Structure 1
Amino acid sequence: MKIAVIGANGRAGRLIANALADRGQDVTAVVRESNRTRARFALCKDALELTARDLAGYDVVIDALGGWAPETMDTVWKGAQHLASILSACSTRLLVVGGAGSLYTSAERTQTVTDAPDLPELFKPVAAAHDRALKDLQNRTNLDWTCVSPAADFQPDEPQTGNVIHAGEEFTVNKDGKSMISYLDYADAFVNEVLNGHHVRERISFLQS
């Protein structure tokens, strides 16, 4: 399978690119500077400057763009919208590293994690950026997309357990009442979705059991 990982030098993108390469996939790391992954190929270009021609021939494109600083946060939704636009009406599947803020917390799907009164202000801007990206994807009918949200507690330094629960659009907790996943477990589950998943035009989520 020929796969491009946009934002491959980022925390999630690097783990996803490495996991795909380790499974023998034909991976291209799309980065703004030198490739720091195990991907065999690299394309150095800003994500917002990518063209349909740059991504022609790929079976899957992965949007792993992130941004926490105020000056980079718009990249989350602008990147997703740009990639969705240049991949529209072609057979390439787009998988997006999403956020947990838009997971529903009510059965009526009228409230989300972001609506919680105790959500720290620090997380609200990035949650809004991921939510904007998701809403744009949901309005597209000529693109095979999948948005993959992590658990609410997304841990960069925790080990890989291999014990992952596949959830849908609802905020879900494990048997201990926790919504947590390590970056390593998320990356592995994400790659499983890339290679074996069939959740086209759906948002799914993962958490550790």
Structure 2
Amino acid sequence: MKIAVVAANGRVGRLVVKEAVDKGYEVVAFVRNEDKTLGIQAVEKDIMDLKSEDFKGFDAVISAFGVWEEKNFGQQSTVIEHLADILSNSETRLLIVGGAGSLYTDESLKVQLIDTSEFPKEYLALATASSHSLDLLRKRDDVKWTYLSPAGFFDAEGIRTGEYKLGGEVAIVNSKGESYISYADFAIAMVDELRNKNYIQKRFSVVGEKR
């Protein structure tokens, strides 16, 4: 299986690359600036300059693109729409590293985490932008998209335990009642979905144990 990882030199992207390579996939990194530290074939190109031809022969594209400055939050939707457009009506899957704020509080699927008073105000704008990008994907039936939401505490420094628990649209917690996942265990869940193919045109979520 041939996999493209977009924004491969970010913190999540690097772990997705490593996980996919370790599992035997052929992986090509797509980066804006040259980065030889990834140790794999790389294509140096701005994400908005990518075309359908760039992904010919790929079984899946994993986007680890993310923004952290409020003035750029709108790029979340712009990038996802662009990737969806160039993969439209193809067999190539599009898997997105998503956000947690759009998860629902219960099975009624009426209230998202971002709608609750407990949601951290400092992350509200970012989470709202991420939620909007998911809404855009839900309207597409021409793309084999998959959106993976992490737990509320998405820990860049957390260790790789090799274990995780999957959920769907509703926020779930681990054995200690915590909404937690390390970047490393998130990467495992993402790469495992390449093989499992359980969430095509669906969103799913993941939590792990804090150790």
TM-score (ref. length: structure 2): 0.94
Would you say how many aligned residue pairs link Structure 1 and Structure 2? 209
Indicate if the aligned counterparts of 1:157 and 1:183 stay in contact, CA closer than 8 A: yes
Question: Partner of 1:100 in structure 2?
Answer: 100
Question: Partner of 1:49 in structure 2?
Answer: 49
5+ residue gaps in structure 1?
Answer: none
5+ residue gaps in structure 2?
Answer: none
Shift in alpha-carbon separation, 1:203–1:104, aligned structure 2, 3 A = same
Shift in alpha-carbon separation, 1:167–1:36, aligned structure 2, 3 A = farther
Question: Partner of 2:172 in structure 1?
Answer: 172
- Pairing of 1:1-209 with structure 2 (within 5 A): 1-35=1-35, 38=38, 40-209=40-209
Letter in 2 for 1:38: L
Question: 1:73: Cα distance to partner?
Answer: 2.4
- Alpha-carbon distance in 1 for matches of 2:96, 2:6: 10
- Alpha-carbon distance in 1 for matches of 2:69, 2:130: 14
Query: What CA RMSD, in Å, does the superposition of the two structures yield over aligned residues?
Result: 1.4
- Alpha-carbon distance in 1 for matches of 2:196, 2:36: 26
Shift in alpha-carbon separation, 1:127–1:197, aligned structure 2, 3 A = same
Indicate if the aligned counterparts of 1:6 and 1:65 stay in contact, CA closer than 8 A: yes
Letter in 1 for 2:197: G
Indicate if the aligned counterparts of 2:70 and 2:126 stay in contact, CA closer than 8 A: no
- Alpha-carbon distance in 2 for matches of 1:180, 1:198: 22
- Alpha-carbon distance in 1 for matches of 2:44, 2:72: 18
TM-score (ref. length: structure 1): 0.95
4+ runs deviating over 4 angstroms: none
